[in-house]
């Protein structure tokens, strides 16, 4: 985790974001979504790169992947909880929460915001 320093703005308490939960806050003229995955916080601007939808307010769900058995036969689709996604509510673009990168288009990504947790409080960069 990077220390934000003097530009840190208090946006909430640690308990405001449970595991796989989120907090969406207005900071100045930006809206920021903050997520917790495996105990760690990730924050992004609430603007989808596709057409500007409120991406951080979409569904949080696991990656969906095809299950392949030992004989290399497809056995249907399964949820893979090792990679959690945020799904933009406007047109369904999916982004990996821990990276902000689009699930299938690696050159498309959310705008990352620095976030830090200290003393039971959550701070983002100004």
Contacting residues toward ligand FES, per CB under 6 A: 48, 50-53, 55, 88, 90-93
Query: Among residues 7 and 51, whose Cβ is nearest to ligand FES?
Result: 51
- Minimum Å gap between C-beta 85 and ligand FES is 12
Give min distance, CB of 89 to ligand FES, in A. 7
Nearer to ligand FES by Cβ, of 41 and 49: the residue is 49
| Cα radius of gyration (the chain) | 16
The enclosing H or E element of 8 equals strand 8-13
The smaller minimum CB distance to ligand FES, of residues 14 and 57, is found at: 57
Q: Which of 13, 2, 115, 1 is nearest to 56 (CA)?
A: 115
Q: How far is the CB of 47 from ligand FES (least distance, A)?
A: 9
Token representation of residue 52: 């500007």
Give the separation between CA 124 and CA 126, rounded to whole angstroms: 6
E strands, 46-114, in order = 59-68, 74-87, 94-96, 112-113
Smallest gap from residue 117 Cβ to ligand FES (A): 28
CB-nearer residue toward ligand FES: 8 or 88: 88
User: By the 8 A CB rule, do 113 and 47 touch?
Assistant: no
């Amino acid at each position: 985790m990077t220390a934000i320093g003097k530009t840190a703005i208090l946006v909430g308490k640690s308990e405001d974001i449970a595991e796989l939960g989120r907090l969406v806050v207005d900071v100045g003229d930006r809206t920021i979504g903050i997520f917790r995955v495996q105990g760690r916080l990730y924050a992004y601007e609430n603007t989808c790169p596709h057409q500007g939808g409120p991406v951080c307010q979409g569904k949080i769900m696991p990656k969906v992947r095809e299950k392949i058995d030992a004989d290399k036969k497809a056995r249907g689709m399964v949820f893979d909880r090792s990679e959690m996604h945020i799904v933009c509510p406007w047109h369904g673009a999916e982004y990996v929460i821990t990276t902000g990168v689009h699930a299938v288009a690696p050159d498309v990504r959310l705008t990352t915001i620095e976030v830090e947790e200290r003393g039971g409080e959550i701070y983002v960069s100004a």
